[in-house]
């Protein structure tokens, strides 16, 4: 009797559960359809612009407009990259590209290979190694000046540019050496890594200088080359320098740390227009007009990047650092081997933001880059539009070339970006 009653109850209860699950599935499907429709509406201007790149000019301006082209003109893309607005390749620009990439390659290789993981006993290398490394860097800085003199000759502004660039590159190399030197390294390894990194940097400098010259002057290939490489270099160097500053502010103890951090945050409130004229005067005095030095070196540090990374580093458990210190690790070893891997989401967040910021920058390149071979895509697109006012399909192709790389970058690393921003916002 009881079994029959139980079966009746189960049969009475089960249908509502099935109906509930069915309605939940329908509700979820409706939500996805609504979100998909909203996403399509948001991206509709981009989709229409992309379809316009494979249309004729008549189809683009026709009314009523057509969604799909009658004939898919993919040759519009090749036509864009075959256009040439003219101009001469300037040695002052190509050398700045090569040297900037070279110093980037030097930093990466030297800091990755110059530090040993074991404490070193006192030896002849430990006494003479620092001096050999110092002499090597000074000699390398001198050779940078010789290379610039030989490459530029009597170019205007070369008189002020050569000494200022020589000093700047020497100081950057000394900073890298100082970072390694504070970790009680194996100085034989440091000197060998230094020489190898300088040789690699020299080769990279010559290669990228030649590539810049081969890309031409007023071509989209050269402008894409400038924009992509400049964005990578500036974002990479900024991640490195800002992460070191953030690590010191988040994990180390030193006098006036809170005051320095407050000053950094305060600098974020200063409008860029206030420093525009003084910055231009300084860059002009240094002779850095129409070179990459004017865009890369002043932007090595960003207050917003330091803030994001500082907040993230504060969330890392201090017990990990204490364990590493017990094992004899130095501050730079902890930073390189422990903090950096754990901070990957925040580092990628800063990398994406700074890459996007440089890629979309317009005012800085417009102000400092004067010849067609040094333009970036945003500046070049304005000039290109003036010269091809009737060729709307080519203008749309140029706009797509400018927009697609940033969209792809964000799509590939959006998970890390969201994770890094959430950590920076709620931790600390």
Q: How far apart are CA 148 and CA 96, in angstroms?
A: 9
Kindly tell me if the per-residue pLDDT of 10 is higher than 70.
no
**What's the burial of 293, exposed, middle or buried (CB within 10 Å: 0-12/13-18/19+)?**
buried
Mean pLDDT of 10-19: 54
Q: What is the CATH number of domain 216-428?
A: 1.10.3720.10
CB neighbour list of residue 206: distance below 8 Å, 6 or more residues apart: 98
pLDDT for residue 425 = 46
Q: Using the predicted structure, report yes or no on whether residue 146 has a pLDDT greater than 80.
A: yes
Is residue 179 predicted with pLDDT exceeding 70?
yes
Task: Kindly list the distances between the CA atom of residue 402 and the CA atoms of 204, 225, 323, 406, in Å, as whole numbers in the listed order.
Answer: 26, 12, 47, 8
User: Per DSSP, what are the bridge partners of residue 219?
Assistant: 84
Per-residue pLDDT at 263: 92
Angle at 373 between CA 372 and CA 374, to 5 degrees: 90
User: Which two three-digit tokens encode residue 366?
Assistant: 């417009």
What would you measure as the largest C-alpha separation in the chain, in angstroms? Answer: 109
Place of tokens 């050999």: 132
103 has a pLDDT exceeding 90? yes
Q: Of the given ranges (79-88, 107-116, 225-234, 408-417), which has the lowest mean pLDDT?
A: 408-417
List phi, psi (to 5°) of 63: -135, 130
pLDDT at 383 over 90: no
pLDDT band at 105 (very low <50, low <70, confident <90, very high): very high
Radius of gyration for the chain, computed over Cα atoms and rounded to the nearest angstrom = 28
The tens digit of pLDDT for each residue in 235-267 reads 999 999 999 999 999 988 888 888 999 999 898
Q: Looking at per-residue confidence, does 122 or 276 come out higher?
A: 276
Percent of the chain with pLDDT over 70: 89
Whether cis (ω within 30° of 0) applies to the bond prior to 64 is yes
More confident residue, 4 or 333: 333
Q: Which pTM was predicted?
A: 0.85
Residue with tokens 């050398």: 95
The position carrying tokens 């590539």 is 211
Lowest mean pLDDT of 4-13, 112-121, 403-412, name the range.
4-13
pLDDT band at 121 (very low <50, low <70, confident <90, very high): low
Summarised one tens digit per residue, pLDDT across range 30-65 is 888 888 888 888 888 888 888 888 988 888 888 887
In terms of Cα–Cα distance, which of 91, 103, 296 is closest to 209?
91
Q: Determine the Cα–Cα distance for residues 29 and 31; give it in Å rounded to an integer.
A: 5
CA separation for the pair 411, 405 (Å, rounded) = 10
pLDDT over 90, % of the chain: 32
Mean pLDDT of the region 368-391: 88
**pLDDT, position 203:** 96
Q: Cβ contacts of residue 75 below 8 Å, gap of 6+? A: none
pLDDT given at position 336: 85
Q: DSSP letter at 153? A: T
Contacts of 126 (CB under 8 A, 6+ apart): 120, 187
Cα 340 → chain centroid: 16
**pLDDT (mean) for 204-222:** 92
pLDDT at residue 275, as a whole number: 87
> What is d(CA 216, CA 213) in angstroms, rounded to the nearest whole number?
6
Structure tokens at 102: 């070279």
Q: Residue 293 — pLDDT band, cuts 50, 70, 90?
A: very high
Q: What is the mean pLDDT of the chain?
A: 85
Across 352-391, b (16+ Cβ under 10 Å) vs e yields bbbbbbbbebeebbebbbeebbbbbbbbbbeebeeebeeb
Cβ 305 vs Cβ 242: under 8 Å: yes
User: pLDDT: is 273 or 284 the higher one?
Assistant: 284
Predicted local distance difference test score (pLDDT) of residue 8:
47
Residue 124 scores a pLDDT above 80: no
* Per-residue pLDDT at 155 exceeds 80: no
Residue 420's pLDDT band, with cuts at 50, 70 and 90, is low
Local confidence band at 117 (pLDDT 50, 70, 90 cut-offs): low
- Is the pLDDT assigned to residue 109 strictly greater than 80? yes
Q: Is the pLDDT of residue 428 over 50?
A: no
CB atoms within 10 A of CB 321: 17
Instruction: Specify the pLDDT at position 119.
Output: 55
- For residue 427, what pLDDT band results from cuts at 50, 70 and 90? very low
Phi, psi torsion values for 340, nearest 5 degrees: -60, -45
């Amino acid at each position: 009797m009881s079994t029959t009653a139980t079966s009746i109850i189960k049969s009475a209860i089960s249908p509502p559960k099935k109906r509930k699950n069915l309605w939940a599935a329908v509700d979820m499907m409706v939500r996805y359809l609504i979100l998909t429709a909203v996403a399509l509406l948001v991206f509709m201007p981009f989709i229409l612009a992309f379809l316009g790149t494979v249309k004729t000019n008549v189809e683009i301006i026709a009314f009523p407009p057509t969604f799909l082209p009658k004939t898919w003109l993919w040759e519009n893309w090749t036509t864009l990259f075959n256009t040439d607005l003219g101009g001469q390749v300037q040695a002052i620009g190509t050398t700045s590209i090569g040297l900037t990439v070279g110093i980037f390659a030097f930093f990466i290789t030297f800091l990755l290979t110059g530090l040993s993981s074991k404490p070193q006993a006192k030896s002849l290398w430990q006494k003479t190694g620092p001096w050999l490394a110092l002499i090597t860097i000074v000699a390398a800085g001198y050779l940078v000046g010789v290379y610039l003199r030989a490459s530029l000759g009597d170019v205007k502004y070369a008189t002020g540019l050569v000494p200022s660039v020589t000093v700047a590159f020497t100081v950057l190399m000394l900073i890298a050496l100082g970072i390694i030197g504070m970790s009680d390294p194996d100085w034989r390894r440091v000197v060998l890594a230094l020489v190898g990194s300088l040789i690699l940097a020299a080769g990279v400098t010559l290669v990228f200088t030649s590539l810049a010259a081969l890309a031409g002057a007023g071509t989209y290939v050269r402008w894409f080359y400038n924009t992509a490489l400049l964005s990578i270099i500036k974002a990479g160097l900024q991640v490195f320098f800002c992460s070191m500053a953030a690590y010191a502010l988040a994990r180390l103890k030193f006098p006036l740390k809170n005051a320095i951090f407050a000053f950094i945050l305060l600098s974020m409130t200063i409008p860029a227009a206030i420093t525009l004229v003084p910055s231009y005067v300084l860059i002009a005095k240094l002779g850095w007009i129409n070179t990459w030095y004017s865009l890369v070196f002043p932007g090595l540090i960003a207050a917003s990047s330091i803030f994001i990374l500082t907040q993230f580093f504060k969330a890392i458990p201090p017990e990990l650092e204490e364990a590493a210190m017990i094992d004899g690790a130095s501050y730079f070893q902890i930073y390189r081997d422990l903090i950096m891997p754990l901070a990957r989401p925040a580092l990628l967040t800063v990398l994406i933001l700074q890459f996007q910021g440089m890629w979309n920058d317009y005012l800085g390149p417009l102000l400092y880059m004067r010849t067609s071979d040094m333009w970036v895509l945003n500046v070049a697109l304005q000039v290109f539009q003036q010269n091809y006012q009737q060729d709307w399909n080519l203008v749309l192709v140029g706009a797509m070339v400018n927009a697609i790389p940033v969209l792809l970058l964000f799509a590939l690393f959006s998970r890390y970006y969201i994770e890094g921003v959430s950590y920076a916002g709620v931790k600390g």
